[in-house]
């Protein structure tokens, strides 16, 4: 593999090499490092990897019943903040929210000052007496289960359960331009020292037998907003391994990401890094395709 061409063209030979590395089980970061070591510009290398693997995945994925000749689940409409004019702030009903960083593919937006310190403390105070070992949705059955990958305590608020919850949910709906009724109730999580949530996807796997039952309550999840309520002393960032991104758990800030289909091609694999000191509190809002009842 040579990178001597001044334009560093993405050739068929390079694409074949990338596919061979993936088929051999090499992780994306290993392939990227090999390309950088060979002299490839990082942006060109990333584009070559992404486009090549996306095309290869589409060609090799099994056909589904979602439409004639369709290789992937169909794309859905997703929440989208008002970012067209590259704003520094977005007015969300009762609060001016900072736009700290924006990524397009996948869509990941970091917001600042979404919640006040007082709101963070109030949410933690309301949740603390109701905390229990966190559970996840069991896509094999449609129920809930304790997941060994998620070592946190948590609880759910009903949508509109208190005036505080109502105010925050209205703010989120305006910020993300998504109907309030399409949101699940807020989940509050506490991660103590050593607690983590290993990388996972938030959509419901269509291949699991329990998914059809889950989807009756509003369809697929299409977006996630993670709000930081309490800062750990060290660790606890939200990581996106496929795009080499880590978001620091700064109190009052939040990270939003969307996924238009229940498929790894969305590159929304994410997790909560282990808390190394102190404790981390977060509030998560999952957004569905339709009204969540």
Q: Is the peptide bond before 292 cis (omega within 30 degrees of 0)?
A: no
Same-domain check for residues 51 and 148:
no
User: 109 and 51, same structural domain?
Assistant: no
- In terms of residue numbers, what domain contains 174? 89-288
CA angle 214, 62, 216 (to 5 degrees): 10
82 domain residue, yes or no:
no
Handedness of CA 186, 168, 239, 38 (dihedral sign): positive
**CATH code assigned at 228:** 2.60.120.620
Kindly state whether residues 31 and 118 are assigned to the same domain. no
pLDDT average per 10 residues of sequence, the chain (293 residues): 56 85 77 87 85 68 42 91 97 98 97 98 97 65 55 90 98 98 97 94 94 96 98 97 97 98 96 96 98 95
- The Cα 283–Cα 114 span in angstroms is 12
Q: What is the pLDDT of residue 92?
A: 98
Question: Is the separation of the CB atoms in 155 and 127 below 8 Å?
Answer: yes
Dist CA 61 CA 63 (whole Å) = 6
Is 289 within 8 Å of 259 (Cβ atoms)?
no
Q: Please give the Cα distance from 254 to 237 (Å, whole number).
A: 11
User: What local confidence, expressed as pLDDT, does residue 134 receive?
Assistant: 65
Q: Which helix (H) or strand (E) holds 191?
A: strand 187-191
Does residue 69 fall inside a structural domain? Answer: no
Strand partners, 145: 136
Please tell me the total count of domains within the chain.
2
Q: In the chain, what are the helix, strand and coil shares in percent, each to the nearest 5? A: 30, 25, 45
Q: Is residue 51 part of a domain?
A: yes
Phi then psi dihedrals of residue 211, to 5 deg:
-60, -45
The pLDDT score that the predictor gives to residue 71 is 66
- Based on the fold, state whether residues 184 and 267 are members of the same structural domain: yes
Return the ∠ at Cα 269 (arms to 266 and 274), rounded to 5°.
Answer: 165
CB distance 260 to 105 below 8 Å: no
The pTM is what? 0.74
Task: Identify the pLDDT of residue 266.
Answer: 96
Q: Does the residue 1 lie in any domain?
A: no
Let me know: does 276 contact 234? Beta carbons within 8 Å. yes
274 and 143 within one domain: yes
């Amino acid at each position: 593999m040579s990178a001597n061409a001044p334009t560093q063209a993405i050739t068929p030979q390079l694409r074949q090499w990338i596919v061979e590395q993936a088929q051999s089980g090499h992780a994306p970061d290993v392939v990227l490092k090999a390309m950088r070591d060979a002299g490839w510009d990082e942006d060109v290398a990333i584009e070559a990897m992404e486009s090549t693997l996306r095309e290869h995945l589409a060609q090799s994925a099994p056909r589904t019943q979602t439409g004639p000749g369709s290789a992937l689940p169909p794309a859905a409409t997703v929440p989208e903040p008002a970012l067209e004019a590259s704003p520094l702030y977005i007015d969300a009903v009762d609060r001016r929210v900072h736009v700290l960083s924006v990524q397009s593919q996948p869509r990941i937006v970091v917001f600042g000052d979404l919640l006040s310190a007082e709101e963070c403390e109030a949410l933690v105070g309301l949740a603390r007496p109701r905390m229990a070992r966190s559970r996840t949705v069991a896509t094999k059955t449609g129920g809930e289960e304790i997941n060994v990958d998620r070592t946190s305590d948590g609880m759910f608020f009903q949508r509109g359960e208190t005036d505080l919850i109502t105010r925050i949910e209205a703010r989120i709906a305006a910020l993300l331009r998504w109907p309030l009724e399409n949101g699940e109730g807020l989940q509050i999580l506490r991660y103590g020292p050593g607690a983590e949530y290993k990388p996972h996807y938030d959509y419901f796997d269509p291949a699991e037998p329990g998914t059809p039952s889950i989807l009756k309550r509003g369809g697929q999840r299409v977006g996630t907003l993670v709000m930081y309520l309490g800062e750990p002393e060290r660790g606890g960032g939200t990581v996106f391994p496929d795009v080499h991104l880590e978001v620091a758990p700064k109190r009052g800030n939040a990270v939003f990401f969307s996924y238009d289909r229940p498929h790894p091609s969305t590159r929304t694999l994410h997790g909560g890094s282990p808390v190394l000191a102190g404790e981390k509190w977060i509030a998560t809002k999952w957004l569905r395709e339709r009204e969540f009842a």
